């Protein structure tokens, strides 16, 4: 079965064709990141405009590169929630237009579900149930994936998302948006024990995260050094920050795995590209004899292939929509 996947929830306009939820035939991404970098973050109005300009060409190219025509497609999957509302609306409206004119099923896909599905594209043997750490620019969840379309949120961030925390810490250190990747790179050259950073605790849940205190600690450390005329070793600060964030993500995920008796751990979302998190999770899983899966770096960020992959399983479950489908800015993964 061939699914066309369309993604426009943030700052990438993307489309892809995937066969049976597992085999990528094409995966086209038009990134707007260079333009948003001028402003230090995503400007929603600009994002919507660029999506509107790019989407037709991106979808055409995805079909061309896959060597298929629209008539050969079995379903049109689109990210409808959560994300920037104006940005989501471009993809949803375009997909609705395609579904209406072709008579193909319209498949609404939750953005975090699609990040999880990126793993199905890279790991043919991976099947639910498993425990998944979903870490992106907007979300940080520990999710029990019971089936392809059945989820339970076990832990979540109480404030900033992990990616947001990375980007804000990087920005404070003078790195351009989105700073997560640059911070990760510089961390490799630093000493992770050079700057002790707080380990924020969360009341009431063993698995919830809190990152905003950590971001503030980095900013305070920088201000403090500036006031005293002291030189900060940026690589050391990056390494210390990275060790702390990945430590928190790994610890809580291992706690949840132990409590739930899960032995298959999966990483998903933009931050799953982080080298510290991947290495920390690998070591923790190896120690406990857990199987670990993560998407290849090329599928960690937003893309259309992951939407098509999840779309396939949503279609099998009968989750299609009519022309009443609307974009939703905020929606739990369970709905
Ligand atoms: O999943 P994603 O592409 O978009 C959202 O759904 O939000 O995630 C983007 C986030 C950004 O905050 C970006 O800085 C972060 O993922 N990110 C990283 C790395 N690569 C991307 N954070 C830390 N280390 C990385 N290597
Ligand atoms: Zn994303």
Report which of 280, 2, 300 is spatially closest to residue 122, judged by C-alpha positions: 300
Nearest ligand 1 atom, CA 161 = 12
Out of 9, 271, 300, mutate this one to test ligand 1's pocket (max ligand atoms within 8 Å of CB): namely 271
138 lines ligand 1 (CB under 6 A): yes
Is the CATH number 3.40.50.1110 carried by domain 2-117+299-316?
no
Distance from the alpha carbon of residue 123 to the mean position of ligand 2, in angstroms: 19
Does the beta carbon of 140 sit less than 6 angstroms from any atom of ligand 1? no
- The two tokens of residue 111 are 């953005």
Q: Which regions of the chain are under pLDDT 70?
A: none
Domain with CATH 3.30.420.40 in the chain: 2-117+299-316, 128-295
- Best residue among 41, 277, 301 to mutate for probing ligand 1's pocket (most ligand atoms within 8 Å of CB) is 301
Cα 174 to middle of ligand 2, angstroms: 24
pLDDT of residue 296: 98
Alpha carbon nearest to ligand 1 atom 3, residue: 301
| Ramachandran angles phi, psi of 309, nearest 5° | -65, -50
Is residue 217 within 8 Å of 237, Cβ to Cβ? no
Residue 81's pLDDT is: 98
CA distance 190 to 293: 27
Nearest atom in ligand 1 to 139's CA: 7
- For 163-179, the pLDDT digits (tens) are 999 999 999 999 999 99
Question: Ligand 2 centre from 302 Cα, in Å?
Answer: 5
What pLDDT score was predicted for residue 4? Answer: 99
Q: What is the pLDDT of residues 258-303, one digit of tens each?
A: 999 999 999 999 999 999 999 999 999 999 999 999 999 999 999 9
Position 200 scores a pLDDT of 87
Candidates 3.30.420.40, 3.90.1200.10, 3.40.50.410, 1.10.260.40; correct CATH number of 128-295?
3.30.420.40
Q: Is 12 in the pocket of ligand 1 (CB under 6 A)?
A: no
Q: Where are the beta strands (DSSP E) in 20-139?
A: 23-31, 75-81, 106-110, 130-135
Give the CA distances from residue 190 to residues 22, 193, 234, 244, 265, in Å, rounded to whole numbers and listed in that order: 38, 9, 8, 13, 28
Quote the pLDDT of residue 201.
Answer: 84
CA-wise closest residue to 256 among 220, 206, 217, 304: 206
Res 206: pLDDT: 92
Q: How far is the CA of 220 from the centre of ligand 1 (A)?
A: 23
Atom of ligand 1 nearest to the CA of 9: 6
Q: What pLDDT sits at residue 6?
A: 99
* pLDDT at residue 313, rounded to an integer: 99
Confidence at residue 297, expressed as pLDDT on a 0 to 100 scale: 98
pLDDT at 19: 98
Closest ligand 1 atom to 185 CA = 26
Region of residue 21 (phi > 0: left; psi between -120 and 50: alpha; otherwise: beta): left
Please name which of 141, 111, 80, 108 lies closest in space to residue 266, comparing C-alpha atoms.
141
């Amino acid at each position: 079965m061939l699914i066309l996947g369309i993604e426009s929830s943030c700052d990438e306009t993307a489309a892809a064709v995937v066969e049976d939820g597992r085999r990528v035939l094409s995966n086209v991404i038009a990134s707007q990141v260079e333009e948003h970098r001028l402003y230090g973050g995503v400007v929603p109005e600009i994002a919507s405009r660029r999506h509107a300009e790019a989407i037709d060409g991106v979808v055409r190219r995805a079909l061309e590169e896959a060597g298929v025509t629209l008539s050969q497609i079995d379903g049109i999957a689109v990210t409808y929630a959560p994300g920037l509302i104006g940005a989501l609306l471009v993809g949803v409206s375009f997909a609705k237009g395609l579904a209406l004119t072709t008579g193909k099923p319209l498949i609404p896909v939750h953005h975090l579900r699609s990040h999880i599905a990126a793993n199905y594209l890279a790991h043919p043997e991976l099947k639910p149930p498993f425990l998944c750490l979903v870490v992106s620019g907007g979300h940080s969840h520990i999710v029990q994936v019971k089936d392809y379309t059945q989820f339970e949120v076990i832990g979540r961030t109480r404030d900033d998302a992990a990616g947001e925390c990375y980007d804000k810490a990087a920005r404070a250190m003078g790195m351009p948006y989105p700073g997560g990747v640059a911070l990760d790179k510089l961390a490799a050259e630093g000493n992770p024990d050079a700057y002790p950073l707080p380990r924020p605790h969360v009341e009431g849940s063993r698995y919830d995260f809190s990152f905003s205190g950590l971001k503030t600690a980095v900013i305070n450390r920088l201000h403090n050094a500036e006031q005293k005329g002291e030189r900060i070793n940026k690589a050391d600060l990056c390494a210390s920050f990275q060790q702390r964030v990945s430590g928190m993500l790994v610890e809580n995920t291992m706690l949840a795995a132990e409590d739930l008796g899960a032995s298959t751990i999966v990483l998903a979302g933009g931050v799953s590209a982080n080298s510290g998190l991947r290495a920390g999770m690998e070591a923790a899983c190896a120690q406990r004899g857990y199987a670990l899966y993560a998407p290849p770096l090329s599928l960690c960020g937003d893309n259309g292939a992951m939407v098509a992959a999840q779309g396939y399983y949503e279609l099998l479950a009968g989750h299609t929509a009519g022309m009443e489908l609307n974009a939703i800015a905020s929606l739990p993964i369970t709905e």
